[in-house]
Amino acid sequence: MRSLLSILWIPWLYWVIRRNLVLLWSGLNKTVSVFETNIRILGGLLSAHLIASDYATGMRIQSYDDQLLHLAADLAQRLLPAFDTPTGIPFGSVNLLYGVDENESKITSTAGGGTLTLEFGILSRLTNNTVFERVTKKSVRGIWSRRSKLNLVGAHINVFTGEWTQKDAGIGTSIDSFYEYLLKAYLLFGDEEYLYIFQEAYKAAMHYLHHDPWYVEVNMNSGATVWPLFNSLQAFWPGLQVLAGDVDPAIRTHAAFFSVWKKYGFTPEGFNLATSTVQNGQRSYPLRPELIESTYWLFKATRDYRYLDVGRDILASLQYGARCPCGYCHISDVETHKQDDHMESFFLAETVKYLWLLFDLAAGPDNIVENGPYKYIFSTEGHLLPVTPEIALEDEHCSYFGAFCNGGADHGYGASASSTKHRNGNYTQLDDIQTPSSHYSMSNVLFTPGYIKGVCPGLTHAQKFGISYSDEEDNFIEQTSESLDHHGESAIESSVQDQSSSIILISHPVASQQDEAFESESGSQDHANIVVTSDSDSDSTSRDNTVGSPGMNSEELMDDI
């Protein structure tokens, strides 16, 4: 219920919310997941507060007096003891009354330590208490400073020693939302440090994890494939690529992922690419939203009506395969469609929400996401987070994010003289930047003109601030900017294009000589062949030692679309 607050915050359900809040802190002597409590409860409280307190949306409740914000601040304070570690990366769990138990595990996931920035950052801006944002940024730095030489991060890490206990790198389980929050933290706050890290992490992921159109898990140190698996949580990735402006690979990957849905009627938790079969022990579908989320973003970017067909097929599967007397049931086996008497809160908070947004967008949108006074970022739990001047710190943000400021002015909320000055100086029409073969290049699918200057300050973060992220000693160390000049050769050319109701960051690497050699070396690699190798560095046991060629099998699946 608490993760659904941002959905239910409408006047005639006010009494339901109030009754629920009475029960919210009824049992504080409980140990909770920091990650889950943040994305579900804290995110829901903050999103509902922002909607309920905002006159511009027309949804403000007159009797509302920041009660949800006070609850959010109290909850976040109770989570803070988890961050008291040598690395700054938080424990996975904390007791809301007594703090971290002395026997608490020192192992946490990368997603657990890197998926806190949006909620904690918003809370800092709303309460003028910087401690929340500082601890979450320190956590991200703690993870990123311990990346491998390939710019990959593992799945699990010791929060005291900083040693990786599971060195499998991927975009799915235990890592997924780390990537997601890097980009979204930049889009929401305009903090260029997050953009710098995202660009480096994304480039590495696309080189080492991407076997077009699939993604695999590799050893973070060697890049060798250790796990040829489509994990259902990977399905968020095409949507993230749309936000980053990398639409072409998003289209191909989404088609591959949807082919698995077409084969079974649902996506299993794990699909073995080497055998083109459901992975043993990962046969369930717990009503996850990631595939429909990416479908929504791809339709939003391309207006290709085949994505409405995808949405229709997903809806039909849910109606005929998952519906049960009291709601929609967890599918325990995608091959038999056996139902379990369980429904996760994210089904309503995300799966249903993205389906509705998809079809509403096609019909002529009538919702605050598409027609409201602000741009919106969705948290990883699907909570609406408006990019308001109060949150985005517009004066600072607009110095290089002029398209957003221009869009904001068009929607009617105020911009200061300072931000107007920045907009006039930075809102520049540039030539289209396209990938070599791009049917869905941004110029083809987005019709609102207006780019920002070609090179965004966030992409030269290391040079500007003299910061190097190191895997030695603490989270990061300072160096002179002269020692980092070589990074300029591989600066990333970037532009931002403002669509009527979304923020799209278009990013294209400008290859240096080193990068060109890097690409030519990898160009001979046959992406159709994924070879599973033994991993001497990995602490995890081998989960599948089948050597196969998933590309050949994937072609058969793709024919179904």
Give dist(CA 74, CA 132) in Å, integer. 12
d(CA 10, CA 396): 33
Does residue 109 sit in helix, strand or coil?
strand
**Strand 384-386 relative to strand 156-158: parallel, antiparallel, unpaired?**
unpaired
Whether cis (ω within 30° of 0) applies to the bond prior to 286 is: no
Q: Which residues contact 522 (CB under 8 A, 6 or more apart)?
A: 207
pLDDT bin (cut points 50, 70, 90) of residue 444 is very low
The Cα 80–Cα 72 span in angstroms is 12
pLDDT for the residue numbered 413: 23
pLDDT at site 349: 93
371-386 confidence digits (pLDDT tens): 888 889 999 999 999 9
DSSP state of 318: I
Cα separation, 491 vs 508, in Å, equals 10
Report the pLDDT value the prediction gives residue 432, as an integer from 0 to 100. 30
Partners of 168 in beta bridges: 219
For residue range 464-473, what is the model confidence (pLDDT) as tens digits?
A: 444 445 444 3
Please report the sign of the dihedral spanned by the C-alpha atoms of residue 294, residue 296, residue 297, residue 303. positive
Which of 55-69, 323-337, 412-426, 480-494 has the least mean pLDDT? Answer: 412-426
Distance (Å, rounded) from C-alpha 265 to C-alpha 357? 22
Question: What is the phi/psi pair of residue 105, to 5°?
Answer: -60, 140
Count the residues in the chain: 561
> What are the tokens at 456?
């965004």
For 284-304, how does the pLDDT look when each residue is reduced to its tens digit (9 = 90+)? 999 999 999 999 999 999 999
Give strand pairing partners of 75.
none
Torsion of CA 143, 149, 155, 160, to 10 degrees: -40
Q: How confident is the model at residue 538 (pLDDT cuts 50, 70, 90)?
A: very low
Question: What is the secondary structure of 87-98 as a DSSP string?
Answer: TSPPPSEEETTT
User: What gap in Å lies between CA 493 and CA 430, rounded to an integer?
Assistant: 12
Q: Is 296 within 8 Å of 354 (Cβ atoms)?
A: yes
- Per-residue pLDDT, averaged over 181-192, amounts to 95
pLDDT tier at 364 (50, 70, 90 boundaries)? Answer: confident
Please say if the pLDDT value at position 262 is more than 90.
yes
Lowest mean pLDDT across 48-52, 267-271, 450-454, 505-509: 450-454
Q: Is the pLDDT of residue 401 over 70?
A: no
Question: How far is residue 138 from each of residues 131, 194, 423, 431, 469, measured CA to CA in Å?
Answer: 11, 12, 31, 38, 12
Q: Which residues are catalytic?
A: 36, 176, 269, 290
Going by C-alpha positions, the residue among 22, 10, 30, 44 that lies closest to residue 78 is: 30
Task: Look up the pTM and report it.
Answer: 0.73
- For the ranges 81-90, 142-151, 436-445, 464-473, which has the lowest average pLDDT? 436-445
Do 385 and 45 meet the contact criterion of CB atoms below 8 Å apart? no
Q: Give the pLDDT confidence of 204-250 residue by residue, as tens digits.
A: 999 999 999 999 999 999 999 998 999 999 999 999 999 999 999 99
What is the per-residue burial (b if ≥16 Cβ within 10 Å, else e) of 433-472? bebeeeebbbeebbeeebbbbeebebbbbbbeeebebeee
| Cα-based torsion angle of the residue sequence 543, 547, 551, 554 in order, rounded to the nearest 10 degrees | -50
HSE-CB of 41 using CA atoms within 13 angstroms: 21
Question: Does 110 appear as a known binding residue?
Answer: no
* 263: confidence class by pLDDT, cuts 50, 70, 90: very high
At 344, the amino acid letter reads E
pLDDT digit string (tens) for 328-344? 999 999 999 999 999 99
3-class secondary-structure state, position 308: helix
CA distance 209 to 219: 10
> Distance between CA 485 and CA 517 in Å, rounded?
20
Rounded distance between C-alpha atoms, residue 303 and residue 463, angstroms? 39
pLDDT over 60 at 457, yes or no: no
Q: What is the mean pLDDT of residues 131-147?
A: 98
CA dist., res. 244 & res. 507, Å (int): 7
Contact status, residue 228 vs residue 216, Cβ threshold 8 Å: yes
**Residue 14's pLDDT band (boundaries 50, 70, 90)?**
low
* Euclidean distance between CA atoms 172 and 109, whole angstroms: 12
Q: What is the mean pLDDT of residues 260-266?
A: 98
Q: 385 in helix, strand or coil?
A: strand
Rounded distance, CA 309 to CA 42, Å?
35
